[in-house]
Structure 1
């Protein structure tokens, strides 16, 4: 994991308004959300042959309301970059039947926090994404 120093940390936004704007830039709500916290994630690099994907993750807490409400107020925490590595090819464990028949859409990463090579490159790309795609739509002060 590579933590990013960012102006995003501590800023507020209305969940629905922000989601609608940043989804156009490839961001989506991360899978591990609950009604009190979550993250916006985007892929910044993917190598399917090697099974490697690098993500920018922007975690947040809910400051007012419950997550997935359009007017819910969220407060961002420190963004970070994470690299997942998955198996390439058929999975030969107990779930391979599900994978080969198409019933299991996702597989568990071999390494959900793999080492990141070229940290400066990925930090620069991520900082640009945050600055251009997210920061224009957030607020410094609490908005509720």
Structure 2
């Protein structure tokens, strides 16, 4: 499921500041990066299953590996995890109402924090 109205699409931030913001909101980047892209995940374990809220970004300046980069954020996705196949993002997936509300609130906080960096 895409969060096309999240407001974070197109926002830019310094990688190190972005890492801090995302960590504060429960996301991890771990090994999910290359020199031009990053992926932040927040895991939700629920009775209905395991879900991941993912925020993607790519470099507009610098290098992620050198920890000196400016990242432009893309449209966040919410997906359901299926063992052993991985995460499915399809619109036909069921997403609990509470999960959608929590995801929306988290994305609003990220938007506010990242927007404040660019003032």
> Per-residue deviation at 1:71?
3.7
In the superposition, the TM-score normalised over structure 2's length comes to 0.79
Q: How many residues align?
A: 116
Cross-structure match for 1:126: 103
- 1:56 shift after superposition: 0.6
CA contact (8 A) 1:16 1:68 kept: no
Which runs of 5 or more structure 2 residues have no equivalent in the other structure? none
Q: Which has the higher strand share?
A: 2
SS at match of 2:72: strand
Q: Who is 1:113 aligned against? A: 88
RMSD: 2.9
**Higher Rg of the two aligned structures:** 1
Q: Which residue of 2 aligns with 1:59?
A: 56
Please tell me whether the aligned partners of residues 42 and 54 of structure 2 are also in contact (alpha carbons under 8 angstroms): yes
Q: Which residue of 1 aligns with 2:15?
A: 15
SS at match of 1:10: coil
Alignment of 1:1-144 (within 5 A): 2-5=1-4, 6-29=6-29, 31-43=31-43, 45-47=44-46, 52-86=49-83, 109-113=84-88, 116-118=93-95, 120-132=97-109, 134-139=110-115
